[in-house]
Copies of this chain bind each other. A is one copy, B any other.
Amino acid sequence: MKKIVTFGEILLRLSTERHLRFSQATNFNATYGGGEFNVAVSLANFGMETEFVTRLPRNDIGDCALQEIRKYKVGTDHIKFGGDRLGIYFLETGAGVRGSKVVYDRENSAIATIELGSIDWKTVFADAKWFHWSGVTPALSSNAAAVCLEAVKAAHELGLTISSDLNYRSKLWKYGKEPKDIMPPLLQYSHILLGDLDTAFFMTGQEKKDPNYQDTVSLPKIYDQLFNSFPNLKFAATTLRYSISASHQKIGGILYDGTSIYNAETREVTPVIDRVGSGDAFMGGLIYSLIKNPQEKQEAIDFATAACCLKHTISGDYNLATIEEITQLAAGNTSGKVSR
């Protein structure tokens, strides 16, 4: 089976327990995660061959990240070593009317200082059929953006399917460039785009021509504007999130295939155990489903959305739900019965 390759950063995640605020914490739970790695874990859990490409520092913290990657059966053969530090993010988990807080401490991380040409993408992609990246990586540094472009070009040349998650984080993009300067050339090669429309227009520097966004009839037209700009695009998808509170979300999803809109049913997600990585869970579900049954678009958006819902019940960055659990939820079973 040919592999799915993802490229990006894996961070040390330090989170407070029991909804404590940062100022109350005397210890942090230490896990690992990062958008593109999270997608790889989802796919590996679904039984697919995966490879995660990143750069790790040669120290004990970098080694911990490496063990974590291996634990989830994600390939590590093309990871580079070097740089000074692993990026960190601190997470305070909210509840009810109090939202979660993220404090980034990821500047000068190993991947931010990666050098162009240091990864032999031809070898990386030799055995691969799919490449996934997200907008977090080009947001880190001009080096990371350059390597990302190098990767999508190589993937394109070798005929891989390319998926992209816009993943806009306003607190990144601090190296002097704006998304609209960087993202359009990167997105030229994408077949699948994840992200809401407003973000898509913003990050690609476009103005939405048809403002009647909410109108079902006009939705395909708006998507078409994007499809026209990025000629390789075959699918655009997004989660639909209605945030009742930090502990209660309603989650739906939309898939557009250039012709029709496919909607997944909106589900109640409460309580929210951990919403970080739920977009990555959606992405992982979508890739899996589009590989397994490329023609079953309704099934794909249902599976992706159910994966996203289930992720909210799982602590940490990754979606550890099984195919069986996701399929059952996609089929409408929300009862949460005890399995024994």
Seen from chain A, the residues whose Cβ lies within 8 Å of a Cβ on chain B are: 14, 17-31, 59-61, 63-64, 67-68, 70-73, 84-85, 88, 90, 92, 94-105, 107-108, 169, 171, 243-248, 267-273, 275-276, 309-310, 312-316, 320-321, 325, 329, 334-340
User: A70 vs B100: C-alpha distance in the bound complex, in angstroms?
Assistant: 26
Query: In the complex, are the beta carbons of B102 and A339 less than 8 A apart?
Result: yes
Q: In the complex, what's the smallest C-beta–C-beta distance from A152 to chain B, in angstroms?
A: 25
Residues of B within 8 A of A18 (CB): 17, 315
* Complex copy number for this chain: 6
Q: Is the CB of B334 within 8 A of A245?
A: yes
> Which one of B72, B243, B271 lies within 8 Å of A67 (CB-CB)?
B72
B24 touches A27 (CB 8 A): no
Q: Shortest CB–CB separation between residue A93 and chain B, in angstroms? A: 10
Partner of A98, one of B28, B70, B101, B336: B336
List the B side residues contacting A71 at CB < 8 Å.
67-68, 70-71
Contacts of A245 in B (CB 8 A): 268, 270, 334-336
Nearest B-chain residue to A251, judged by Cβ:
B97
Q: Which residues of B contact A312 (CB under 8 A)?
A: 96
Query: A95 near B271 (CB under 8 angstroms)?
Result: yes
Select the residue from A20, A30, A275 with max chain B CB neighbours within 10 A: A30
Considering the complex, give the chain B residue whose CB is closest to the CB of A76: B73
A-B contacts, 17 listed (Cβ < 8 Å)? A23-B67, A23-B320, A61-B90, A70-B72, A70-B73, A85-B105, A94-B313, A95-B313, A96-B268, A96-B269, A96-B273, A97-B269, A97-B309, A98-B336, A245-B268, A247-B336, A271-B271
Contacts of A28 in B (CB 8 A): 14, 27-28, 30
Q: Give the distance in Å from the alpha carbon of A120 to the alpha carbon of B104 in the complex.
A: 31
- Using known A-B contacts A26-B29, A336-B98, determine if residue A61 contacts B105 with beta carbons closer than 8 Å: yes
- Is A98's CB under 8 angstroms from B24's CB? no
Other than the given A25-B64, A169-B340, A247-B336, 8 more pairs (CB < 8 A) read: A19-B314, A26-B26, A96-B269, A96-B312, A99-B338, A247-B271, A248-B270, A275-B338
* With known contacts A60-B103, A314-B21, A338-B102, A329–B26 Cβ distance under 8 A: no
Which residue in chain B gives the minimum CB-CB distance to A268? B245
- Contact B27–A30 (Cβ < 8 Å): yes
A275 neighbours in B (Cβ, 8 Å): 338
- Distance A338 CA – B101 CA, assembled complex (angstroms): 6
9 closest cross-chain pairs (CB), A and B: A246-B336, A102-B340, A243-B335, A98-B313, A71-B71, A22-B60, A99-B336, A245-B336, A95-B313
